[in-house]
Structures are given as C-alpha cells and as structure tokens.
Amino acid sequence: MAFKALLFDVFGTVVDWRSSIIAEGAAFGAAQGLNIDWAAFADGWRAKYQPAMQRVREGNSGWVKLDDLHRANLLELLDEFAISGLSDSEIDHWNKVWHRLNPWPDTVAGLTRLKRDYILATLSNGNVALMVNMAKRAGLPWDAILGAEVAGHYKPQPEAYLKTAGFLGLAPEECLMVAAHNGDLRAAAACGLGTAFVCRPTEYGPDQDFDLAPENDYNFAAEDFLDLAGQLGC
Amino acid sequence: MAFKALLFDVFGTVVDWRSSIIAEGAAFGAAQGLNIDWAAFADGWRAKYQPAMQRVREGNSGWVKLDDLHRANLLELLDEFAISGLSDSEIDHWNKVWHRLNPWPDTVAGLTRLKRDYILATLSNGNVALMVNMAKRAGLPWDAILGAEVAGHYKPQPEAYLKTAGFLGLAPEECLMVAAHNGDLRAAAACGLGTAFVCRPTEYGPDQDFDLAPENDYNFAAEDFLDLAGQLGC
C-alpha cells in the first residue's frame, strides 16, 4: 500500500529546540546581566519533559497541554538557576520560546518538496497553538496540525498514532511516521505505520551519544528532509 | 482587542458545494446514461445535512463524523432518485465529492492575502480528512484544520466555537468567525467571537432567498474574501 500522509515528530526532527533556546537565553542573559550556562538551562528544561508527560499518561491529572507542562517545568528551572524577579508576562514570553524554535537548514525546502506528493501533518506532543505559531513563524507548510492534544494522548501511547491516522481518514499503513528518535518510530511501527528515520545527530548538542543511527529496519533512513524527499521520488 | 485568527465556515463560504456537485453529477449521468435533475440531487443531499447533525447534537448516537453522515444520506438519496447498481467503492467515490468541492473565484487569492497577517483555521462541520483533502486539491492555505470533529461538537453548539479558540490558545474575542450564514455568526457572537459576514448569494442557487445580507451588527460585512482582506488592511 502506498503512503498517502507523512506524520512528523517536530521537536528535534523538524526544529532545533536546543540551539534556539540557547540563543534566546544568551540574548536575555546579556540584557539582564545574568551569568547562566544556557546550554545547561536548555538541557534541564528538556529533561523535565518526559517525566511531566508521564504523569499525564498515567492519568493522575487529566489532560494537560504541553504549554502548561513547559510552564510548570520552567518555574522549577528558574528556581534551580536562581533567576528571579520575572513578571508573569515575562515568564509567559519565556515559555513561548517553544513557539519560536528555528527549523533545521533543510526543513523548509524538504517539506516544500514533500508537500507536492503527500499530506504533511504534525504528530508531535506539542499542543496545537504551539505548532501553529511555530509553523507561522518558521514557514512550515503543514496540511494539518494533529498529534497529542487532538488525540488526547501523548506519544508513545498508541492512541496518539492511531487517532492521528484516523483523523486523516487513513489506515495506519498509509501513514509514514518521520522522526529522529528510534523510540518514536518503534511505537509507530507497533501501530502499523510506516517509518522513516531522519538523522539529527546534534539535537542534544555536540556530545549526543544516542539516536545517531537507525536501530531498526525502517522503511526509510535519511540524512535529512531533502534526502528523504529524494528517496520518496519528490 | 485585536483579532489574531480568522475562523472560517467552509461549505458555502469558502467553496461552492452546489455547483460542484451538479457538475460531477452531470458528468456521471452522461457517462451512465442517466436522466437526473442534478440540482435537485445536490439540494436534496444538502437538505439531509442539518437533520443528520441534529441527531448527533442530541446525543443519540455518539460522535459521527460528517463523511459518515453524508454517506448514510447518500444511500437514501440514491434510492429516492432511483439510482441503483453502484458498488461500495463507487458510492465511496461519490460520497467524497464533498472532498472535491471547488472554491469561489475570490477564495484562494483572498485567503492568501489574509494569511499574511492572521492565523487561518477552518471551523467547519466537515471532518478533518474532508477538509485536508479539499484544501490539498483546491489550494486552500489553512494554518490549521479545526472545527466540529476536533471539538467533538457540531456547530452551532457553543463548544464548537469555544474549543476551536482554545486549541489556538486564544480568547474568543481574539477570533473572527467568517461565514456566509447569519445563524453561524449569531452563534459565534454569542460565544464572544468577532463576526464577519461574507455574501454568497448563489450558494443555494439562483432562487436563494435567505442569507443575502447581514441580519445583525457584525464586525465586518464583505462582498467576498478580497473585500474582507481590504477591510482588514491585508
């Protein structure tokens, strides 16, 4: 069966969250006269991501969208880094740095080629507003914003993959999950989706020692989105 | 407060469902040697639309997406018009004529201008797959596909409007509902959204005698999407 839609992981696969946060942090720190290790700040924020979603997955708190998880994690982080005195609106602005992440250099050109032949949808744990604002700023040409919030389940729960395919009116095997993370692709494959690994070896910085290569037999393994477009004949 | 997102009714406001269905019907009828009044067929199909959604609104059957309501209505209609002998896949293809509706002449140019300054999202009773396939074929540059299926409520139920604004992270008053139907706009206004009436005086054919003019004090009343773009300074 031919693939009709490409479903994209976004943080790390489409956008470079780490360097984007470091850059905003450095500018903020310079303006405020703060001496902060912004790489550690970015990594610390991201380290709180999976545990926060896990609490939602375990159903202890009902659905909580990622913007709200990010904000609760940010409050902890500001305390850990001894950054104080920010107003609520300044904290909100900081929290929305996730809406202002920059794409990898190949992202927009690659998506633009892929869009000619496939439906392109997000299948991210990011909430709809985050994805829409990011796309608007970065020029990401999505056909649909789907994923965790619309499905009501965070990846890697199967409902996140299956409901996303269902919203598109497609069988799982008509959807190709595109991600830089082996765990995401294993969960998608277990639901019957096709899989494409795209290598993002510096997502976690220069010392990244995981997700450097495909660990399973995926349908595709690509260097970047332009390579994937070429392999798909776009 | 300034509007940040424009939320669009789609059937009749963005696309000309009636002439699109008539055109496909005429081609189908000619190929099959059928003598059918395709305008009556289109009008008959549309007449079954509100009653079918009303059964869902009243909660008798759980959520049923519009593709499925359309298909059940189509089966009745084929019987009423004495069209027989279609295979399941031919019926499916006919049902998906709603995915192949043509935009009004000003639609794509108008949306393209509006998209520069606003988030553009669907707030239709059409399901996600229908909206995505329609947009892909017609070149509708949506930033997000939202509306009834994602909200789990058909317009004019308030949840359809309020949840759509919520997914975008916006207050109702930051959203401008754009529709050719006074009833839709009244329901949106009751939820606190801004309102823009766009005149589509032939949506229901040459004898249309309703929704020919704005019946309330809306934020905007426009001849078409280009006029609306001009009024919004795009």
CA distance B167 to chain A (A): 6
Q: Which whole number is the average pLDDT over B119-126?
A: 98
Q: ∠ CA A71-A63-A155 to the nearest 5 degrees?
A: 90
Nearest to B132 among A129, A149, A168 (CB): A168
Using CA coordinates, name the residue in chain A closest to B135.
A143
pLDDT (mean) for B228-232: 98
Q: Which CATH architecture has domain A5-16+103-231?
A: 3-Layer(aba) Sandwich (3.40)
B194 pLDDT higher than 80: yes
Print burial letters for A158-188: b (CB count within 10 Å at least 16), e (below 16): bebbbbbbbbbbbebebbbbbbbbbebbebb
pLDDT at B1 over 70: no
**Full DSSP string of chain B:** ----EEEE--BTTTB-HHHHHHHHHHHHHHHHT----HHHHHHHHHHTHHHHHHHHHTTSS----HHHHHHHHHHHHHHHTT-----HHHHHHHHGGGGGPPBPTTHHHHHHHHHTTSEEEEEESS-HHHHHHHHHHHT---SEEEEHHHHTS-TTSHHHHHHHHHHTT--GGGEEEEES-HHHHHHHHHTT-EEEEE--TTTT-TT--SSSS--S--SEEESSHHHHHHHTT-
A50-73 burial, b at 16+ Cβ within 10 Å, e below that, comes to eebbeebeeeeeeebbbbebbeeb
Distance of CA A210 to the CA centre of its chain: 17
Nearest CA in chain B to A99: B169
**A146 to chain B: which residues are within 8 Å by CB?**
128
Structure tokens at B206: 């040459």
Instruction: Give chain A's mean pLDDT.
Output: 97
Residue A87 confidence (pLDDT)? 95
pLDDT in tens, B157-178: 999 999 999 999 999 999 999 9
Residue (of B186, B113, B117) closest to B155 by Cα position: B186
| pLDDT, mean of residues A3-14 | 98
Say whether domain B18-100 belongs to CATH 3.40.640.10. Answer: no
User: In the predicted model, is pLDDT for residue A4 greater than 90?
Assistant: yes
Answer CATH for A17-100 from 1.20.1050.10, 1.10.150.240, 3.30.930.10, 3.90.1150.10 = 1.10.150.240
ipTM summary value:
0.96
pLDDT at residue A170 in the model: 98
* Mean pLDDT score, B56-60: 86
Rounded to whole angstroms, the Cα distance separating A154 from B27 reads: 46
B59: pLDDT strictly greater than 90? no
B25-45 average pLDDT score: 95
Q: Which B residues, 134 through 193, put their C-beta within 8 Å of a C-beta on chain A? A: 135-136, 143-146, 149-150, 167-170
CA distances from A157 to A6, B6, B223 (A): 19, 33, 47
Cβ atoms B207, B40 nearer than 8 A:
no
Residue A233 has pLDDT above 90, yes or no: yes
Which residue from A232, A13, A231, A25 is spatially nearest to A140, judged by alpha carbons? Answer: A13
Domain definitions of chain A by residue range: 5-16+103-231, 17-100
Facing residue for A168 by CB, picked from B119, B129, B167:
B129
The predicted model gives B44-60 an average pLDDT of 93
Q: B43 with B230: CB under 8 angstroms?
A: no
Q: Do domains B5-16+103-231 and B18-100 have the same CATH topology?
A: no
- Residue A1: pLDDT band (50, 70, 90) is low
